[in-house]
């Protein structure tokens, strides 16, 4: 048998094997749509604004058994947020996607998981276990910080993690929770290029972002009513000398007893502004506390108090940022409604940046 025939036979056998595997696999399609309305009032009335926001996502997943008996789950999502639109290219009038559009649409929840018992090895992006949420913000929606007041960005850390960049991770389920470790070779990159990464024009970009790792935990420590999470991220210095080493930590907890739930969030970032476009400071500290009350099975109310500060704010009138949030949630079955009011002082550490935000959030899944 010639080498060419051997190769063709092997390829055909592989395709047949794939066909046999897919026959016992399970494929699902799901999605969600969220619409929001937000009005922001700043002390400087010229900086007040209002408008709608939108987020939509389509998820496709497949799961089954491998030939060696292990389980697998694979999938990807297509996300279209309000900012993931089309933009006109200069001079031509034609429309083309921006880089952020490509990252948001094509690198959303991309993964192949290999599962053996309680151990999972995951390869992909925007899928691995993370702490990208505020456990103190129990009823409301979005991040704690009141971004946009007086055109400022909140000092409250959003907790930098690299789960949105492509990498490989391993997680282990135990009786007290799930432990995870994630490695990303290019920490600042949430976009995958072509199938074998041989586009020379893109490699110059990648050498500007060194590796990073994330360590995470989520569980209850075996205590009924407790929901606990912790994460640590470390990203190496940019090889071009543009970005300093970055670190972030977060500890969050919720405890439910009866109709009440208490929440706490402690978030720290070092040199996080390089990744989140915060204009001042090298270290950001945020602490917040929340309480929620379930009026009945469909209606809940909540309150969150948050403080944030930076250790090297450039503005001479730097102040501690304080945010108070009152929120209500209403479950309508297939559609949920949340409303919240934020009152923020000294946004971004600026004593002249006080204001309020009122928002409504509608969400449905299908």
> CA angle 249-319-306, nearest 5°?
45
Cα–Cα distance measured from residue 278 to residue 246, given in angstroms and rounded to the nearest whole number: 13
Residues 8-36 have a mean pLDDT of 64
Q: What are the extents of the domains in the chain?
A: 27-83+96-365
Burial code (b: 16+ CB inside 10 Å, e: under 16) for 144-163 equals bbbbbbbebbbbbbbbbbbb
Three-point CA angle 341, 140, 362, nearest 5°:
95
**CA-CA-CA-CA dihedral for 40, 43, 44, 48, to nearest 10:** 10
Residue-wise pLDDT tens digits, 241-281: 545 678 889 999 999 999 999 999 999 988 754 444 444 44
Residue with tokens 């946004």: 347
pTM: 0.81
Report how far apart, in Å, the C-alpha atoms of 357 and of each of 27, 72, 279 are: 41, 44, 22
pLDDT attached to residue 338: 96
pLDDT tens for each residue of 63-72: 999 999 999 9
Instruction: Quote the mean pLDDT of the chain.
Output: 80
CA 353 from centroid of its chain's CA atoms = 27
Radius of gyration of the chain (CA): 23
- CA dist list (Å): 164 to 24, 104, 128, 188, 189: 31, 10, 8, 9, 8
For the chain, give the percent of residues with pLDDT over 90: 50
Across the range 209-234, mean pLDDT stands at: 91
Burial class (CB in 10 A: 0-12, 13-18, 19+), 26: exposed
What topology does CATH give the domain 27-83+96-365?
Porin (2.40.160)
Q: Which helix (H) or strand (E) holds 119?
A: strand 119-125
Report the alpha-carbon distance of residue 99 to residue 79 in Å, rounded: 14
Residue 45: predicted pLDDT = 76
Give yes or no for a contact between 41 and 356, defined as CB atoms under 8 angstroms apart. yes
Give the separation between CA 34 and CA 72, rounded to whole angstroms. Answer: 30
Query: Quick one: pLDDT band at residue 170, thresholds 50, 70, 90?
Result: very high
């Amino acid at each position: 048998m010639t080498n060419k025939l051997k190769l063709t036979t092997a390829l055909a056998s592989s395709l047949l094997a794939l066909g046999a595997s897919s026959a016992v696999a399970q494929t699902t399609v799901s999605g969600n749509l969220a619409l929001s309305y937000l009005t922001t009032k700043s002390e400087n009335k010229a900086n007040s604004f209002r408008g709608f926001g939108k987020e939509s996502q389509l998820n496709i997943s497949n799961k089954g058994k491998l030939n060696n008996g292990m389980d697998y789950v694979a999938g990807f999502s297509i996300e279209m947020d309000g900012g993931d639109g089309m933009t006109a290219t200069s001079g031509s009038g034609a429309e083309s996607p921006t880089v952020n559009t490509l990252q948001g649409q094509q690198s959303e929840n991309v993964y192949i998981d290999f599962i053996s018992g309680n151990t999972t090895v995951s390869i992909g992006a925007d899928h691995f276990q993370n702490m990208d949420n505020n456990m103190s913000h129990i009823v409301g929606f979005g991040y704690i910080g009141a971004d946009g007041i007086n055109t400022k960005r909140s000092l409250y850390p959003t907790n930098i993690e690299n789960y949105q960049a492509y990498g490989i991770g391993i997680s282990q389920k135990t009786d007290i929770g799930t432990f995870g470790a994630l490695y990303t070779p290019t920490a600042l990159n949430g976009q995958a290029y072509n199938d074998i990464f041989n586009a020379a024009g893109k490699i110059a970009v990648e050498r500007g972002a060194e590796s990073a790792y994330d360590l995470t935990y989520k569980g209850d420590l075996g205590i009924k009513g407790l929901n606990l999470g912790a994460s640590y991220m470390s990203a190496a210095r940019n090889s071009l000398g543009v970005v300093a080493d970055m670190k972030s930590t977060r500890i969050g907890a919720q405890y439910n007893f009866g109709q009440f739930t208490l929440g706490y969030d402690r978030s720290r970032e070092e040199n996080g502004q390089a990744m989140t476009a915060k204009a001042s400071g090298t270290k950001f500290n945020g602490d917040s506390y929340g309480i929620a009350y379930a009026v009945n099975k469909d209606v809940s109310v909540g309150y969150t108090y948050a403080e944030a500060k930076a250790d090297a704010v450039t503005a001479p009138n730097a102040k501690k940022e304080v945010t108070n949030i009152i929120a209500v949630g209403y479950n309508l079955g297939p559609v949920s409604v949340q409303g919240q009011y934020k009152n923020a002082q000294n946004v971004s550490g600026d004593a002249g940046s006080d204001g309020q935000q009122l928002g409504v959030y509608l969400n449905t899944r299908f």
